[in-house]
Amino acid sequence: MATMRHILLILALTVLGICVPAPRMIAHSPAAGEAGPTAPPPVTLCTRDERVIFSCPVKKPAKIVSVCASKDLTSDRGYLQYRFGLPGKIELEYPKDRAGTQQKFQYTHYFRARVDLTEINFTIDGYQYQVFDTYQGEEKPAISSQGVSVTAPGKPKEVSFVCRTRPKADYADLQAVIGSDQE
C-alpha cells in the first residue's frame, strides 16, 4: 500500500510540474507481507563466466537442460559440458573432467529453406544423448521442438525431455570446435 502511495505522489507531482530529486525515486522494496515482483527462475545451469550453447527448462520433470562452454572454447582449448538438473542440484554433468571435452561430442546441422535441424550428440555408459533443436516449416502447421532425447542401451525407444519455452541457444563455431557430421 505504501508503494502505491509513493507512485501516486510522484505522478501527482509530475503532473503539477514539480521536479522530484532522483534519490527520492529509488524503488521501494516490498515489506513483509506486501506482494512484490518475483525474479524469474533461472533457465540455465551455465555460470556467468561460461557461454550458453543450449539451455531451457524442460516440461517434465521440472528440470533444466544445458550445454555450457568456456568462453575460450576452440577445437584445442576450453571445455564443453552437458548439465541436467536444477541450480545448486545438478544431477548429471558430462564430462566431469574438462580436459579434451571437444572429442566427446558430435555436432550435426542440416539447413535448407523452411527446415533447420541441429543436434549435439554424446554417449555415457551406452546411453545415447541427443540435444536437439528442430524446425520443420514444411509441415502444416510448422513444427518447432527442442530438448534432449535419451536412448538406453539395447532399447529402440527414446525418452524425450521437451523444452517448456524456446531455448537460449548459440551454436556459432560449434562445427569447427567439436566433431561434425554436417549434412
* CB burial readout 148-170, b (16+ within 10 A) else e: bbebeeeeeeeeebebbeebebe
Same domain, 68 and 153: yes
What are the φ and ψ backbone dihedral angles of 102, each rounded to 5 degrees? -60, -30
pLDDT tens for each residue of 112-127: 999 999 999 999 999 9
Task: Name the amino acid, one letter, at 162.
Answer: V
Same domain, 25 and 105: no
Nearest to 75 by CA among 178, 182, 181: 178
Same domain, 140 and 89: yes
Same domain, 25 and 90: no
Same domain, 116 and 161: yes
Same domain, 131 and 158: yes
pLDDT tens for each residue of 57-86: 999 889 999 999 999 999 999 999 999 999
Same domain, 164 and 97: yes
